Chain A
Amino acid sequence: MTIGRDQVLHVAKLAELAVREGELDRLVEQLNRIVDYVAQLDEVPGDAPADPFLPGPPSVALRQDVPGPVPLTRPPAAFAPEFADGFFLVPRHGAMEDL
């Protein structure tokens, strides 16, 4: 199983990661190294248990519907990169309606 340049670029797009010029070839090589390495799981017979292993509780404990969130010791304005009139701001972009 090998990953090509296009595939790496496609995955990078899904992950919203800019891949720097010249970085790509090395990345392709390293990802192939890793993916070939993990591919050894194919040796394991397929008759393994179907249910995924869960380390935590067998079922989720629910929260009562009572207001009282964890308080913020500083407001969003204090940590937001761009903030105005109570809003986080981002650049507007053409395809913004694109859901």
Chain B
Amino acid sequence: MSWETVVGLEVHVQLSTRTKMFCACRTTFGDPPNTNVCPTCLGLPGALPVPNAQAVRLATRAALALGSSVRGRSVFARKNYFYPDLPKGYQISQFDQPLATGGRVALESPERGRIEVGITRLHLEEDAGKLVHDRFPAKTAVDLNRAGTPLAEIVSEPDMRSPGEARAYLVALRQILVYAGVSDCSMEQGSLRVDANISVRRPGDARLGTKTEVKNLNSFANVERALEAERLRQIALLEGGERVAQVTLLFNAGSGQVKPLRSKEESHDYRYFPDPDLPPLVLSPEWIADQRAELPELPDARRARLEIAFGIPAYDARVLTSEVALADYFESVAAAGVEPKAAANWVMGDVMSTYNEGGTFPVSAERLGSLIALVRDGVLSHQAAKRVYTELASSLGEEPKVVAERLGLVQVSDEGALAGWVDEVLAAHPAEVERFRGGEAKLMGFFVGQVMKRSKGKADPKAVQPVLQEKLRSG
């Protein structure tokens, strides 16, 4: 008998601000420890928080991009617990009156096709510091540079039904947030962090099973792996007649296993209450409307537009919009007046592979445009064009035509030159000539190939045939 998996995700994204959530310290990554600190983020006696306007703006944008409704009045609350990376002994977050509620993320489910995952809430909070466990013997080192960095916490509904859907949700969510310019969402730098809640139940069962929380998920792939491992662990328990305990688990990327951390029974009582240092956050409807108006084009909209405006396949549109930069590049290549499908093929091929490696575009969109035009006009063969592209990638701003000529790749369609190669080929293969004249018409392909070979690919195949025809008939 089968099991249904139910997954909900809590995602923390670091908002792209210059300064921290509640103090004017820089948020730069990788500075020497405890250098971007001040009385407020060190939790010194007497220091007070003052919220960052840009963090509020970016979190609002994120909410609007997810279709959430932004509250005109939200409240900062203190989440009380002791931990060495938490300077004040409480985290300033939002609790019963968050910045935004509702919303959805549309995605392609590997199992169910296009689905929508609901957003429960989005709220503002401050990050904790960083702990280093392996640097000093028997000591844990505390670096508070990151303490107070602005975060948006985005909580989803338990709408995902497989580890694959969880991964697809994260890809779609990340794409929206990057498009909206809210965060760089880099998991490597910890600017996007994921906690997953997962339970299993029998299909059709209305009640949710006991859920567990999986932490320490440092890549989208690991989210999928960890959830798969935990899904199987829970099913094994239930089928063994045991029950699932409500625990928090850590994923070990090395072993691919999840290990229980602590049971909820002994989990903290956070004693949330409104932060008396911070009056309510009040946002006017006009201001919220302005933020909505300033939202850039989001992934779904752009995908649809590329499909319609350029008449390219849905698949191509999805690949090209996976990254803002890629979509921008494609549009400027297409703008160079070449056939959009050809431009799409180039961007999804050679361009994308170099982009994925270096994250850059070594060949300007204009040059790629004129390169594609050379192929269209029969000046270059597709093979030759690929060689020119590689050359352009390393050359300093030469024009494709110039490079093609320098490499002697420009196709020859001049009768005289072609006749020379054709004569050589026919002279070299008398037997085949006989058989062709005997009626083996399919040998034409062989002769063309031989001519191309002798011409080192320079001969224009379209021009070669008539010459061959001519010479084979005569004589």
A41: interface (CB < 8 Å): no
Interface string of B130-155 (1 = CB under 8 A from A): 01110110111111100000000000
Residue of A14, A63, A96 with highest tally of chain B CB at under 10 A = A63
Q: Would you give the shortest CB distance from A10 to chain B, in whole angstroms?
A: 9
Report the interface size for chain B: residues with CB under 8 A from the other chain: 58
Interface string of A55-98 (1 = CB under 8 A from B): 01111111111111111100010000010111111111101111
Which residue of A has the minimal Cβ distance to B83? A99
Interface string of A7-33 (1 = CB under 8 A from B): 000000010100000000000000000
Q: Would you give the shortest CB distance from B418 to chain A, in whole angstroms?
A: 67
A54: interface (CB < 8 Å): yes
- Contact of B19 (CB < 8 Å), options: A66, A76, A82, A98: A66
A52: interface (CB < 8 Å): yes
Given A59-B281, A91-B139, A97-B250, A65 and B19 contact (CB-CB distance below 8 Å): yes
Q: Report B-chain residues with C-beta under 8 Å of the C-beta of A89.
A: 136, 139-142
- Per the bound structure, the CA–CA distance linking A5 and B28 in Å amounts to 48
- Per the bound structure, the CA–CA distance linking A54 and B274 in Å amounts to 11
| CB under 8 Å from chain A, chain B span 66-97 | 73, 76, 80, 82-84
- Contact of A59 (CB < 8 Å), options: B141, B215, B279: B279
Which residue of B has the minimal Cβ distance to A87? B141
B387: interface (CB < 8 Å): no
B200: interface (CB < 8 Å): no
Q: Report B-chain residues with C-beta under 8 Å of the C-beta of A93.
A: 140
B269: interface (CB < 8 Å): yes
| CB under 8 Å from chain A, chain B span 4-37 | 17-19, 23-26, 32-35, 37
- Per the bound structure, the CA–CA distance linking A14 and B267 in Å amounts to 11
When the two chains form their complex, are residues B38 and A96 in contact, meaning their CB atoms are under 8 A apart?
A: no
Which residue of B has the minimal Cβ distance to A75? B34
Given A69-B24, A72-B39, A88 and B141 contact (CB-CB distance below 8 Å): yes
Which residue of A has the minimal Cβ distance to B130? A87
When the two chains form their complex, are residues A96 and B37 in contact, meaning their CB atoms are under 8 A apart?
A: no
- Per the bound structure, the CA–CA distance linking A66 and B23 in Å amounts to 10
- Per the bound structure, the CA–CA distance linking A61 and B80 in Å amounts to 24
- Contact of B35 (CB < 8 Å), options: A57, A71, A84, A86: A86
Q: Report A-chain residues with C-beta under 8 Å of the C-beta of B32.
A: 86
Q: Which of B51-59, B104-112, B221-229, B332-340 contacts A (4 or more CB under 8 A)?
A: B51-59
Report the interface size for chain A: residues with CB under 8 A from the other chain: 38
- Contact of A70 (CB < 8 Å), options: B40, B138, B250: B40
Given A62-B51, A91-B140, A98 and B261 contact (CB-CB distance below 8 Å): yes
Given A63-B24, A97-B250, A99-B215, A90 and B280 contact (CB-CB distance below 8 Å): no
B298: interface (CB < 8 Å): no
Q: Would you give the shortest CB distance from B53 to chain A, in whole angstroms?
A: 4
Q: Report B-chain residues with C-beta under 8 Å of the C-beta of A70.
A: 23-24, 38-40, 47
Given A87-B132, A91-B139, A58 and B282 contact (CB-CB distance below 8 Å): yes
When the two chains form their complex, are residues B52 and A59 in contact, meaning their CB atoms are under 8 A apart?
A: no
- Per the bound structure, the CA–CA distance linking A91 and B42 in Å amounts to 19
Q: Would you give the shortest CB distance from A29 to chain B, in whole angstroms?
A: 24
Q: Report A-chain residues with C-beta under 8 Å of the C-beta of B442.
A: none
B473: interface (CB < 8 Å): no
| CB under 8 Å from chain A, chain B span 36-50 | 37-42, 47, 50
Given A92-B133, A96-B133, A97-B261, A65 and B18 contact (CB-CB distance below 8 Å): yes
Q: Report B-chain residues with C-beta under 8 Å of the C-beta of A96.
A: 131, 133, 140
- Contact of B279 (CB < 8 Å), options: A14, A60, A90: A60
When the two chains form their complex, are residues A66 and B18 in contact, meaning their CB atoms are under 8 A apart?
A: yes
B202: interface (CB < 8 Å): no
- Ordered by A's residue number, 24 sampled pairs between the chains whose C-beta atoms are within 8 Å are A57-B279, A58-B280, A59-B279, A60-B51, A60-B280, A60-B282, A66-B24, A68-B24, A69-B37, A70-B24, A70-B39, A70-B47, A76-B34, A84-B141, A85-B141, A86-B35, A86-B143, A87-B34, A87-B136, A88-B144, A89-B139, A90-B84, A96-B133, A99-B261
- List 12 additional A-B contacts (Cβ < 8 Å) besides A54-B280, A96-B131: A58-B280, A65-B18, A66-B24, A69-B24, A69-B41, A72-B37, A85-B135, A86-B143, A89-B139, A90-B140, A92-B133, A98-B262
